[in-house]
C-alpha cells in the first residue's frame, strides 16, 4: 500500500498508525512506516502520519520515532481525538523536546473536541489544519454514521470550518466510508466544498476522482474568477491611484471578490497538479 501511494493523484498521503492497525501490530507498523519514510517519500504531494491518540500506550513512541526522521521525510502529524488546547500543547512539547519541525493536523472527532474546537485551533503555531472525523464523532454523539447529505452534520461542519478560518488553518472533511457509493460521495464532497472546505479525505483510491472533481472549479467559475482579477487589476492601474471597486457585468466588485477569485484560481491549480499526477 505504501509503495502504491506514490502513484495516486492525491494532494496528501496520510499513513495510518491508529485505527487501521491492531494493537499487536502497532510497533511493526511504526517501524515499517519509519523505514519507508527514510528511504524516500511515498508521494509527490504532502506526507502525513496519523499517530495514536494521547493516553494510549503508543502515542509517545509514535512521536519519538517520527521526530527522529530526516526533516524532509514528513510534513505533518495527524493527531486523533484532540479535545482541548492542553492536548495540542502536549504534542507540541513532545516535538519541541526532540527538535522536530513538522506541523500538526488536529482530528476533531469527539463531542468534547467539537465543543472546544476554537480553543484547539488557537493553541499552537504548529497547527496547520482541522479535520472533521465522522466515525468516532458518531460514536461520541450516539448517532448513526454520516449517511446522506443533510442537516444532521451541519453544526459540526460549520463549527470546524469557522474555527479553521478564524485561525488561518485548513479545513478538511473526513472520509466517506461507503466505498462503492460514488454518487453519495460526489454529493457529500460537493456539499462540503460548497460550505468552504479545502479538501476531503479518501479511504480508497477509487474515491479520488470524485473528490478531485468536486473540489476543482468548473469552467464558468474559473472564467468568472479570471475576469474578476483582470477587472480589478485594470481598475488599480488607472490614473490617479486606481479604484478599489469596479463594475463587472453590471455588478460592483471589490477586494472581497478578489479573495474569492484567488481561492478559485488556487483550487484550479491544485486540480491541474492532481490531473498531472494521475497521468
10, three cell numbers? 492525491
Which stretches does DSSP call E strand in the chain? Answer: 12-16, 46-50, 76-79, 103-108, 127-132, 170-173, 199-200, 246-248, 251-253
Give the single-character DSSP code of 190.
Answer: H
Q: With a cut of 50, which residues of the chain have pLDDT below it?
A: 239, 271-279
Instruction: Please report where in the chains the cell 460514488 appears, as a residue.
Output: 182
CA dihedral 79, 80, 84, 89 (to 10 degrees): -20
What pLDDT was estimated at residue 192? 95
Q: Are 173 and 163 in contact (CB under 8 A)?
A: no
- Model confidence pLDDT, tens digit, residues 249-268: 778 777 776 776 676 666 66
Q: What is the pLDDT of residue 267?
A: 62
2-215 CATH choice from 3.20.20.140, 3.40.50.11810, 3.20.20.60, 3.40.50.620: 3.20.20.60
Please report, for the chain, the start and end positions of each structural domain, with discontinuous segments joined by +. 2-215, 219-278
Cell, residue 183? 454518487
State the pLDDT at residue 175.
Answer: 93
pLDDT at 170: 95
Q: Model pTM?
A: 0.83
- Whole-angstrom distance, CA of residue 14 vs CA of residue 142: 27
Amino acid at each position: 500500500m505504501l509503495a502504491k501511494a506514490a502513484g495516486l493523484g492525491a494532494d496528501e498521503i496520510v499513513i495510518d498508525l491508529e485505527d487501521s492497525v491492531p494493537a499487536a501490530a502497532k510497533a511493526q507498523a511504526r517501524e515499517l512506516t519509519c523505514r519507508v519514510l527514510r528511504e524516500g517519500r511515498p508521494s509527490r504531494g504532502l506526507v502525513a502520519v496519523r499517530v495514536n491518540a494521547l493516553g494510549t500506550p503508543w502515542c509517545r513512541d509514535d512521536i519519538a520515532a517520527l521526530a527522529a526522521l530526516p526533516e524532509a521525510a514528513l510534513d505533518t502529524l495527524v493527531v486523533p481525538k484532540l479535545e482541548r488546547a492542553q492536548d495540542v500543547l502536549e504534542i507540541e512539547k513532545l516535538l519541541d523536546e526532540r527538535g522536530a519541525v513538522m506541523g500538526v493536523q488536529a482530528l476533531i472527532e469527539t463531542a468534547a473536541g467539537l465543543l472546544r474546537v476554537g480553543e484547539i485551533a488557537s493553541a499552537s503555531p504548529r497547527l496547520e489544519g482541522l479535520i472533521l472525523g465522522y466515525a468516532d464523532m458518531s460514536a461520541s454523539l450516539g448517532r448513526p454514521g454520516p449517511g446522506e447529505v443533510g442537516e444532521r452534520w451541519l453544526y459540526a461542519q460549520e463549527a470546524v470550518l469557522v474555527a479553521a478560518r478564524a485561525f488561518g488553518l485548513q479545513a478538511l472533511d473526513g472520509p466517506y466510508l461507503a466505498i462503492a457509493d460514488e454518487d453519495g460521495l460526489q454529493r457529500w464532497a460537493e456539499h462540503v466544498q460548497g460550505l468552504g472546505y479545502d479538501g476531503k479525505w479518501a479511504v480508497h483510491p477509487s474515491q479520488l476522482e470524485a473528490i478531485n472533481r468536486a473540489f476543482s472549479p468548473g469552467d464558468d467559475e474559473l472564467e468568472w474568477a479570471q475576469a474578476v482579477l483582470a477587472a480589478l487589476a485594470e481598475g488599480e492601474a488607472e490614473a490617479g491611484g486606481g479604484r478599489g471597486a469596479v463594475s463587472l457585468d453590471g455588478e460592483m466588485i471589490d477586494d472581497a471578490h478578489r479573495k474569492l477569485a484567488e481561492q478559485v484560481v488556487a483550487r484550479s491549480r491544485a486540480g491541474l497538479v492532481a490531473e498531472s499526477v494521475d497521468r
